[in-house]
A = this chain, B = another copy of it.
Amino acid sequence: MTRVLILGGGGMVGQKLAAKLEAEAPDEFDLTLHDIAFPEGGPGTDRRVGNLANPAEVAALAAERFDLIYFLASIVSGEAEVDFDKGWQTNLWPMWGFLEGLRAQHRATGGAYVPKVVFTSSIAVFGGPYPDKIDDDFLQSPQTSYGAQKAACELLIQDFSRKGFIDGMSLRLPTICVRPGKPNMAASSFFSGIIREPLNGQRAMLPVPDTVRHWHASPRAAAGFLAHAATLDTERLEGRRALNLPGLSCTVAEQIEALRAAAGNDAVALIDPQPDPHIAKIVEGWPRDFAPDRAKSLGFVAETSFDEIVAIYMAEDMPKA
């Protein structure tokens, strides 16, 4: 059995990942999920409620010497932008403490313990101006605190891995869409809301012009990225342990047309344009399109149309009437 720890295992992506690992290889993975809270039901029998802001808890988790660790815990972009202190305290320092804890175990085992660590970074590590498509050699220049925190974590993952203390990698996730459940404080929340709410018969706010182009992947693709990362020989990363993942580039107008194709004009009529300069300013600084050649050659796969993304939401996550 591979002993797996999912930090942030109560979140949407963590739950999708846990469900996928349980469903596909129940005898291969022994799952432990850690988060500040969990939804009722769902995957994971070893659920630990706790807080990575507590250094002793972080060290204790590291001391359990899991084989495979997913580091998904994070506060979202909107919250990190509003609360500077909480952003850095939540999105950077626990990573440092946890990696130091893993290094202590590495030392204590005479170098035998080298856990695999998969970190969910974000395309928010990038900042404009952008080329038409961002390639694998494009600079990190975050324009949000969230992006800066993700980029800093990538540097830690890179250096601890280079030194052989861990075997880590950072996956720069596209915006995950359609997120099930409620809107959250992520500035990207509306990208899901304008599909999810109308499909559920509710109104949705659109805070940006429909010409905004963005980079998406489904929750199913996200879980797939994470599961695939665990199987990857990191030698193939050739010392660059942060990866731009595949995704789908489309405009908000194209999203809306996919909604129309799936649910008709009545659904589209539930979208209310309500310009929000705060959200618009953050989103304006975000990437629109990528050429993620490395990740594709390493076997990472995402959707190729927004219709497909809408269909995945309707099949997997839409509340049944």
Q: Which stretch (A49-57, A69-77, A138-146, A218-226) binds chain B? A: A138-146
Q: Contact: B137 with A139, CB < 8 Å?
A: yes
> Using Cβ atoms and an 8 Å threshold, which residues of chain B touch A240?
127, 139, 141
A148 at the interface (CB under 8 A from B): yes
With A127-B240, A155-B152, A158-B148 known to touch, is A84 a contact of B163 (CB < 8 Å)?
yes
Contact with B along A106-119 (1 / 0, CB 8 A): 00000000000000
Within 8 Å by CB of A158, from B141, B162, B238, lies B141
Taking CB atoms and an 8 Å cut-off, the chain A residues in 129-177 that contact chain B are: 129, 131, 136-143, 145, 148, 151-152, 155-156, 158-159, 162-163
Q: Contact: A145 with B163, CB < 8 Å?
A: yes
Q: Contact: A162 with B143, CB < 8 Å?
A: yes
A239 at the interface (CB under 8 A from B): yes
Category for how many chain A residues contact B:
20 to 34
CB-CB nearest in chain B for A162: B143
Contact with B along A221-256 (1 / 0, CB 8 A): 000000000000000001110100000000000000
With A148-B159, A151-B155, A152-B155 known to touch, is A139 a contact of B138 (CB < 8 Å)?
yes
